[in-house]
Amino acid sequence: MVVEDQYIPTQLGTVRVRLSGSGDPILMWPSLLMDHSLWDAQVDHLSTRFTTIALDPPGHGQSSRLASTFTFDECATCIVQILDALGFERTHVLGNSWGAMVGATFAARHPERVGCSILMNGTASPAPTRQKVEYAALVTIIRMMGGIRPPLTRSVVGAFLGPTSRKTRPATGPLIVDVARRQDAASLVKAVRSVVPLRPDQRDLLATIRTPTLIIAGREDVTFPPAEVQRMAAVIPNSEFVLIEDAAHLVALEVPDRVNMLIDDFIQKHERTGQDT
């Protein structure tokens, strides 16, 4: 499999994208603290039929540092700029958490440029007071420690993985910690503030989506519990909702085979019916 990295200028800085395969594109935007490697299993599976575009989101991985906080509309514009730079008119979108919110914004703002959206472990709601307080404390700790450091790493694993993955998928915890520890502290602070305390109420915007959308939740997710993810699905007309019982906040990493099957089935169904053309 041929893998190519490109560094694409966007309004939120230079974004590193990892390209694999050929065919229609699928763009993949991960969660906070994660980089393109969250999608490794999906890239391996999908790049035999698609061009996979797995990115390090702004301020993460090998993308440039963030200069300021951002909006989800600015993130959606980044997708447009990436597609333009690569010469693609439209793309399917995979998004997890932050990526799910960005993917939904992209589908609402740029319907002519999206095929299917598969959005995992996201929300359409603003952050409640409790979450704002918790993440304000997280930002303070990241600043003090200069990044994600022990014992904060235990909190990250607890936020991302449930009891099933911690018990039966022991490799997932160290992988998450390794990626999180490599992120730039100043950029993390700006990204966390943008995605949590500054997060807008998107329910009215998401109600305008008319393109095929699959929403996936993990039963064991404590960051965005299933009921919250289901509320996101409820405001998107004709969206489909799937609950995975034995996974938490990073379902694409925790149960990749099941997620890959859901992606395949959803895209193939809409290709057959012509709803994404």
Fold of 3-126+201-273: Rossmann fold (3.40.50)
Sequence spans of domains, the chain:
3-126+201-273
Q: Tell me which amino acid residue 8 is.
A: I
Answer for the pair 222, 166: CB distance below 8 angstroms, yes or no: no
pLDDT tens, 140-165? 999 999 999 999 999 999 999 999 99
pLDDT tens, 84-136? 999 999 999 999 999 999 999 999 999 999 999 999 999 999 999 999 998 88
pLDDT tens, 11-35? 999 999 999 999 999 999 999 999 9
pLDDT tens, 240-254? 999 999 999 999 999
pLDDT computed for residue 2 by the predictor? 73
Answer for the pair 165, 247: CB distance below 8 angstroms, yes or no: yes
Q: Tell me which amino acid residue 31 is.
A: S
For residue 30, count other CB atoms closer than 10 A to its CB: 28
pLDDT computed for residue 274 by the predictor? 67
Q: How many residues does the chain have?
A: 277
pLDDT computed for residue 271 by the predictor? 86
Residue 224, classified by CB atoms within 10 Å of its CB into exposed (0-12), middle (13-18) or buried (19+), is: buried
Cα–Cα distance measured from residue 101 to residue 117, given in angstroms and rounded to the nearest whole number: 11
